[in-house]
Amino acid sequence: MAPWLPTKEKFGVALWNFPRTNEHHLPLQIGETVHILQAAEGWYRGYSLRNRAARGIFPASLIHLKGAVVQRSGAEESLVPAEMPMVQEITTTLREWATLWKQLYVTGPAQRYRQVKNMMHELMEQRSQLLSGTLPTDELLQLKREVTSKIDYGNKILALDLVVRDENENILDPDRTSVISLFQAHQKAAQTIAQRIQEETHPQQSELGCSAHLASSPSHSLYLCVRNFVCNIGEEAQLLMALYDPAEQRMISENYVIRWASTGVPQDIELLNNLKAVFTDLGSKDLKREKLFLVCQIIRVGRMDLRESLSRKLSTGLRRPFGISVMDITDITKGKSESDEDKQHFIPVHQVATDSDFLHGMIRKAAEGKDINHKGQGFWVSLKMLWGDLSQVRKDHPHLVDRSTVVARKLGYPEVIMPGKWDRDVRNDIYLTLVQGEFDKGNKKTQKNVEVTVCVCDEAGSVVPNVIYYGAGDKPMSEYRSVVYYQQRHQRWMETVKIAVPIEDVHRTHLRFTFRHRSSSDSKDKSEKIFSMAFVKLMRPDGTTLRDGEHDLLLYK
């Protein structure tokens, strides 16, 4: 083995647990900090800062190196982490609280346990903001004040020592501070903590404070995390989640699309345990709606009927209605109910009972609150209200809203557009909703199984590729295919998609709708041709885009 040599890499954090299997090994737990003395062939020799007396060796691959300043070199060298003091204090505080938090789980009241857990999560968020290094001076100082206030309050309720600070939130050095200054700092800190405890004992004041927070913020966001989805569908499925206003009987947000495999996991396996979305641009008027629901439309993708025998070749790839899930989130959006990203809510699945059940009609009925026998099938989700627009919540909650979090926009602009935001947030989206249609059975004995295909075409009639979105979190498509309802003369879809055509191309494009009967038999289905078509231009002759509202289209045979 190569000799042990001094190294410039002095400080690191354990990324994994390392058990002691040899007398020379130094056992480590994840998150434990180490002082590195020597290195040799993928191993380090040193000690844990928790127990400086015990020295040993540990794999270099398990250590994440961090910057540090060597104050004294030689046999008695000491290290000072290169992180800013506030980050170090948060790290030390979290380690100290973690031990007491585990004790609270066993012996303490459950309310205090949850309170400390939430405070630790908030400190982790704020630590991430400090480490980002992107905050201006005034916001950095405000954040430091929030951090120190939280640390001091937590130390008080956990019966730990009170830390006194100067006006810049730095810990006072008793060797360099007069007795009078220390006394005044103690008085100020004690008064602040006492005021916080008094506010905590008056929940009415907290509710008023939350209402004031709602009123003062011009924009709001709703964070959604899908923890689990348990449902025996039998085929692939599309889960379309959106916000729904029962008074207007319409969705007020884009769909958050999850493509679900027949095996019971997301089709994109990287999304397993990472199904997160944030519904943005919600204004005060949206939160004042009499009722607001989170709904999910479950669309099965496969055969016409799951009960059909597999002895003959069947048509596949049909989008068929399976069911819906509905949850009243009014109290959460208005701040009257607990809003916690760790609390899980169960939303049962209402399955389609007959071929005449349209998904939109089922949503309307389910919003009335009728109980069903869901047999344990449904969603487990977590919800949390976040104050501010998208840029603000990304800054305030980096562990919730990161690059992997899907952003579902409101169907329309936010109530307030902040100065300077317009240049950064340009939207030229057209939202198309297939409402309903009447179709005669023609020369068939029964009503048709109508499928509508929507695409965007240019002046030459060529399809413009990849400009149609089923919803947020889904890749763009060249065409949209509607849900197929079985043998219905009057079709009511109420399906919304986003058309994202470059602004310079809007004047020369139009939407083309084609209508086709779909058969359950593969051979018959392939022989079915388009029986009708319709179109509408995206721009009117006067140079303005198609007006908002409903449009009746003529069908050409």
Residue 128 confidence (pLDDT): 86
Residue 349 confidence (pLDDT): 93
- The mean pLDDT of the chain is 85
pLDDT of residue 357 exceeding 50: yes
Q: Are strands 340-351 and 378-387 parallel, antiparallel or unpaired?
A: antiparallel
- Count Cβ atoms within 10 A of the Cβ of residue 333 and give its class: 0-12 exposed, 13-18 middle, 19 or more buried: buried
Distances (CA, A) of 203 to 19, 146, 198, 200, 209: 47, 21, 10, 6, 10
Structure tokens at 326: 């509905």
Decide if 404 contacts 275 (C-beta within 8 A).
Answer: no
Residue 372 confidence (pLDDT): 61
> Rounded to the nearest 5 degrees, what angle is found at the Cα of 351, between the Cα atoms of 349 and 355?
160
Cα 42 → chain centroid: 39
Q: Per mean pLDDT, which range of 115-124, 343-352, 371-380 is the poorest?
A: 371-380
Q: CB count, 10 Å around CB of 482?
A: 19
Output 99 or 414, whichever has higher pLDDT. Answer: 99
> Rounded to the nearest 5 degrees, what angle is found at the Cα of 551, between the Cα atoms of 547 and 555?
140
Cα distance between residue 494 and residue 490, in whole Å: 13
pLDDT of residue 72 exceeding 90: no
Cα distance between residue 531 and residue 518, in whole Å: 11
Output 543 or 498, whichever has higher pLDDT. Answer: 498
Q: Per mean pLDDT, which range of 70-79, 195-204, 537-546 is the poorest?
A: 195-204
Residue 374 confidence (pLDDT): 65
Q: Region 323-348: what's the mean pLDDT?
A: 88
Question: Residue with structure tokens 């060797």?
Answer: 175
* Residue at 284: amino acid letter: S
Cα distance between residue 62 and residue 18, in whole Å: 8
Which letter, b or e, does each residue of 297-326 get, where b requires 16 or more Cβ atoms within 10 Å of its Cβ?
A: bbbbbbbbeeeeeeeeebbeebbbbbbbbb
Supply φ then ψ for residue 107, to 5 degrees: -115, -25
Q: CB count, 10 Å around CB of 408?
A: 24
Decide if 278 contacts 406 (C-beta within 8 A).
Answer: yes
Residue 373 confidence (pLDDT): 60
Supply φ then ψ for residue 85, to 5 degrees: -55, -35
Residue ranges of domains in the chain, CATH in brackets: 5-81 (2.30.30.40), 85-201 (1.20.1270.350), 220-424 (2.60.40.150), 430-537 (2.60.40.150)
Residue 245 confidence (pLDDT): 94
Residue 354 confidence (pLDDT): 83
Q: Are strands 256-260 and 406-408 parallel, antiparallel or unpaired?
A: unpaired
Per-residue model confidence as pLDDT tens digits over 471-503: 999 999 999 999 999 988 888 999 999 999 988
Structure tokens at 523: 């051979």
SS3 97: helix
Output 424 or 396, whichever has higher pLDDT. Answer: 396
Per-residue model confidence as pLDDT tens digits over 201-249: 554 444 444 444 554 567 899 999 999 999 999 899 999 999 999 999 9
Output 536 or 215, whichever has higher pLDDT. Answer: 536
Structure tokens at 485: 């309802």
Radius of gyration of the chain (CA): 30
Cα 196 → chain centroid: 31
Residue 484 confidence (pLDDT): 94
Residues with Cβ within 8 Å of residue 491, at least 6 apart in sequence:
358, 436, 437, 438, 439, 450, 485
Q: Region 130-159: what's the mean pLDDT?
A: 82
Structure tokens at 334: 């208005």
> Rounded to the nearest 5 degrees, what angle is found at the Cα of 412, between the Cα atoms of 410 and 415?
90
Residue 223 confidence (pLDDT): 95
In DSSP terms, 499 is beta-bridged to 430, 468
Residue 203 confidence (pLDDT): 43
Q: Is the dihedral of CA 172, 178, 183, 188 positive or negative?
A: negative
Per-residue model confidence as pLDDT tens digits over 262-321: 999 999 998 988 999 999 999 888 888 999 999 999 999 999 988 877 767 888 899 999
Cα distance between residue 529 and residue 527, in whole Å: 6
- Count Cβ atoms within 10 A of the Cβ of residue 11 and give its class: 0-12 exposed, 13-18 middle, 19 or more buried: buried
